[in-house]
Structure 1
């Protein structure tokens, strides 16, 4: 798979925007993950208002894990 399909950068300034962007990113990544069923979704907080949502072999398929980087 191409890397741009596996990672989504999120930059927001409000809580509402964060919720909307995270929902979009997780839904998109769930679709990509459903093809191989080997990776879950990892969402680390990079900085205030900056997150990265990506497929990760460290997270079981069907799981979304949020954490601070």
Structure 2
């Protein structure tokens, strides 16, 4: 399941296949906004074994996607 707020997509996965698919979709959506509107990077944070956020981040250089383990 993907939940959307202004600069953050929250993903709660039920299995590995949906996790991979939803993360790919969320990063693609964030990349489109980052390229078109914000000119910033993307931060993918893992908050648990099934919980992630994909955030547009000014602390990540434009054109990059960084991962962060937050658990």
Task: Point out where structure 1 has 5 or more consecutive residues left out of the alignment.
Answer: none
TM-score, length-scaled by structure 2: 0.83
Give the superposed CA RMSD: 1.6
Q: CA deviation at 1:5?
A: 3.7
* Structure 1 position 61 matched with structure 2 position 55: no
1:4-23 correspondence to structure 2 within 5 Å = 4-23=5-24
Greater helix proportion: 1
Identify the residue that residue 31 of structure 1 maps to in structure 2: 32
Structure 1 runs (4+) deviating above 4 angstroms are none
Identify the residue that residue 49 of structure 2 maps to in structure 1: 48
How many residues are paired up?
67
Q: Matches of 1:29 and 1:11 in 2, distance apart?
A: 17
Q: CA deviation at 1:37?
A: 5.2
Task: Point out where structure 2 has 5 or more consecutive residues left out of the alignment.
Answer: none
Q: Matches of 1:24 and 1:57 in 2, distance apart?
A: 21
Q: Matches of 2:16 and 2:55 in 1, distance apart?
A: 20
